[in-house]
């Protein structure tokens, strides 16, 4: 069973601080990694995707991937109250034939306090 693990939180940070969200995965053959943000009662929306080791920055968001250690993280700089949401880590790996499956973690609830 391929697993994606996240700390469920809640993770609470003050406004303006850096929020650090972590995710580990069990399938060493995983090839694509995604972070989604989900507001309460809403559907997930994509924040970042990352495919190779290292850092990828997009505005206030930085995704970090370390395939050797099987972890992926998301840093949110200058956190805002509007960043308060559940962050889902998703990992894609080959599942047989021409199929690739996206496996989701349970999410980390982030609260940014004004």
Partner 1 sequence: DGGITQSPKYLFRKEGQNVTLSCEQNLNHDAMYWYRQDPGQGLRLIYYSQIVNDFQKGDIAEGYSVSREKKESFPLTVTSAQKNPTAFYLCASSISGQVLDTQYFGPGTRLTVL
Q: Rule CB under 8 A: which residues touch partner 1? A: 4, 8, 31-32, 34, 36, 42-46, 49, 51, 88, 90, 92, 94, 98-107
Tell me the closest approach of the beta carbon of residue 104 to partner 1, in angstroms.
Answer: 4
Tell me the closest approach of the beta carbon of residue 51 to partner 1, in angstroms.
Answer: 6
- Segment (H or E) for 23: strand 19-25
User: Residues in the chain, how many?
Assistant: 114
Nearest residue (CB) to partner 1, 98 versus 114: 98
């Amino acid at each position: 069973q391929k697993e994606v693990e996240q700390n469920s939180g809640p993770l609470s940070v003050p406004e303006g601080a850096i929020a650090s969200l972590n995710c580990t995965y069990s399938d060493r053959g995983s090839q694509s990694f995604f972070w989604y943000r989900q507001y309460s009662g809403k559907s997930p929306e994509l924040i970042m995707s990352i495919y190779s080791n290292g850092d990828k920055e997009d505005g206030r968001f930085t995704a970090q991937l370390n395939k050797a250690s099987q972890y992926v993280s998301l840093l949110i700089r200058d956190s805002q109250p509007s960043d308060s949401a559940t962050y889902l880590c998703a990992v894609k790996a080959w599942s047989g034939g021409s199929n690739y499956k996206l496996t989701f973690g349970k999410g980390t609830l982030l609260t940014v306090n004004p």
